[in-house]
Amino acid sequence: MRIGLIAMSGIRVCDAELLRLGLTLPGFVERSKTIASLPSLGLLTLAGMTPDEHDIRYIEMPEFTRSTSIPQDLELAAISSYSAQIGEAYALARTYRELGVPVVMGGPHVTALPEEAAGSADAVVIGEGEACWTEVLADCAAGRLRRFYGSRESPFDLARAPMPAFELLDPSQYNRITVQTSRGCPHQCEFCGSSVMLTGKYKQKPVEKVLAEIDRILTIWDHPFLEFADDNTFVDRQYWKELLRALPERRVRWFAETDLSVGMDGELLDLMRQSGCAQVLIGLESPTAERLRGLELRSDWKRRQWPHYREAIRRIQDHGIAVNGCFVLGLDGDDAGVFDRVFSFAEETELYEVQVTILTAFPGTPLYARLKREGRIVEDGRWDKCTLFDVNFRPARMSPEELAEGFKKLVVKLYDDEFTNWRRSAFRRRLRAQGKGKETIHHENQAGDPGAVSGGGGL
Ligand code: B12
């Protein structure tokens, strides 16, 4: 079969003023450019396990309207999308069906709402695609696609993970490549819409498989920048120490999303730095201890870490690894004072990078279920608002408008050129003071400018 693997790969913000600001604020623009060039690892992974008899094409679809030209000669359209672009993904699916091309859809959004997706697609894959992809292909070839495949309850064993087909990418179009080492996260935050949506079980890919993926990437890109696309990298420190010891000889630079506990392990931080870590994104969530209470479903781990926030950030940055501190605005205890508190925290801790997002109720999350019960979802079904920058719920101690306005003002202050440069030079100054200036680090591990913006990421 001729299969089109179609990634809905746009970056979305509905709020027109925020969009306008995003286009002018340098800090915002730089980061958008960096992250917008990530390929769909989900589809590349499925491509990697597609039998050779099929002809596969990887297609990026940053936007779709009725006038967008699309490849017509497909025998199966396999579409991947997150919530924000799902409306366009459904419209694309319906267009293909009108052309007589069968459509299969997958991803966290359709996993949460399979019936909704089945209104536009022939088949919907729930959960991890690897578990049923070959069955979908066989059924499609035989003309007997079922409406639903897979489930969240039948997890895929990552020891059987296929090699993603990185060779489908045009190397000149991608400045960073994703590698996944794990799925799920022990913290179980109420709002999380990441791979915890696909599988309830935390699991890791064997180290040798991860290294094999990096080696494959190195056959295509000379100096790749890797983004570990885990919900929470470094949960298993022994696993990571083993992996990191094998990285320096591969001379890659990399970025990961994690929690604050890395800051407490000096050996891990040394290994991270020596192996090319440029930046870590850390879900700090709130500058206020009390806001962290009840954030996680199982324990109050982040609340208990709060007294160590400042020290951990300092220790990580003192290792030459930039911290991208991530805050969620609009948590139930947040009032209009939260915006100044986030700004002051960033200033006080000299965070190299700051990411602020608005609390977002993604369908399928415990947060969505609770807010729905409490009658606090605004315009239910407006999935295009699931951007992390638009307000799709009624905050407890502010109006939706106050949250949106306060957020925009904070964004302007945080990404202001002067403040951004001040934070970055503070980071470099501290490193120089310790004799770990740019040249030293560059010489040590070819990692280049520590924490440079191209090393950033997130979302
Ligand atoms: C890389 C990334 C991106 C890349 C995406 C590249 C791409 N086209 O996939 C870019 C930068 C473009 C991006 C954009 C956005 N992102 Co993003 N992104 C990520 C990130 C960091 C990693 C995702 C990843 O690679 N996962 C690993 C792969 C293997 O998993 P997967 O894609 O889910 O695929 C598996 C299954 O879902 C399934 N599957 C998926 N697709 C299909 C299709 C078929 C046919 C089948 C059978 C199976 C299948 O099988 C796969 C293998 O098991 C995550 C955060 C994280 N740490 O996970 C956020 C994340 C996915 N992004 C998020 C968001 C909000 C956005 C944006 C809205 C941001 C914005 N304001 O623009 C946009 C959304 C655009 C859209 N299409 O809707 C949210 C999504 C939440 C949700 N449930 O919708 C996440 C979870 C981050 C968060 N903080 O909440 N993102």
User: Given this model, what pLDDT does residue 459 score?
Assistant: 52
**pTM confidence score:** 0.94
Nearest atom, ligand 1, residue 11 CA: 72
Q: What is the pLDDT of residues 334-383, one digit of tens each?
A: 999 999 999 999 999 999 999 999 999 999 999 999 999 999 999 999 99
Of 456 and 136, the one with more pLDDT: 136
User: Given this model, what pLDDT does residue 435 score?
Assistant: 77
196 residue type, one letter: V
4 half-sphere exposure, CB direction, 13 A CA radius: 21
User: Given this model, what pLDDT does residue 247 score?
Assistant: 97
The pLDDT of residue 251 is above 70: yes
Instruction: Give the residues surrounding ligand 1 with Cβ less than 6 Å away.
Output: 7-13, 35-36, 38, 40-42, 45-46, 78-85, 104-109, 125, 128-130, 133, 178, 180, 193-195, 197-198, 229-231, 257, 362, 386-389, 459
User: Given this model, what pLDDT does residue 20 score?
Assistant: 83
CA–centroid distance, residue 82 to ligand 1 (Å):
6
The pLDDT of residue 36 is above 90: no
The mean pLDDT of 268-281, rounded to a whole number, is: 96
Nearest to 259 by CA among 304, 298, 226: 304
CA–centroid distance, residue 78 to ligand 1 (Å):
15
Q: Average per-residue pLDDT in the chain?
A: 90
Q: What is the pLDDT of residues 109-168, one digit of tens each?
A: 999 999 999 999 999 999 999 999 999 999 999 999 999 999 888 789 999 999 999 999
Q: What is the pLDDT of residues 382-436, one digit of tens each?
A: 999 999 999 999 999 999 999 999 999 999 999 998 999 999 999 999 888 887 7
Percentage of the chain exceeding pLDDT 90: 75
The mean pLDDT of 91-108, rounded to a whole number, is: 98
The pLDDT of residue 190 is above 80: yes
The mean pLDDT of 294-301, rounded to a whole number, is: 80
CA–centroid distance, residue 355 to ligand 1 (Å):
18
Nearest atom, ligand 1, residue 180 CA: 27
User: Given this model, what pLDDT does residue 454 score?
Assistant: 44
277, 254 Cβ separation under 8 angstroms: yes
CA–centroid distance, residue 124 to ligand 1 (Å):
17
Provide the b/e sequence for 352-385 (b: ≥16 CB within 10 Å): bbbbbbbbbbbbbbebbebbeeeebbeeeeebbb
Of 231 and 291, the one with more pLDDT: 231
CA–centroid distance, residue 126 to ligand 1 (Å):
15
The pLDDT of residue 456 is above 80: no
In angstroms, the CA 382 to CA 437 distance is 48
Cα Rg of the chain, angstroms:
22
217, 229 Cβ separation under 8 angstroms: no
User: Given this model, what pLDDT does residue 112 score?
Assistant: 97
Phi and psi based region of residue 228 (left: phi greater than 0; alpha: psi -120 to 50; beta: remaining) = beta
Q: What is the pLDDT of residues 202-228, one digit of tens each?
A: 999 999 999 999 999 999 999 999 999
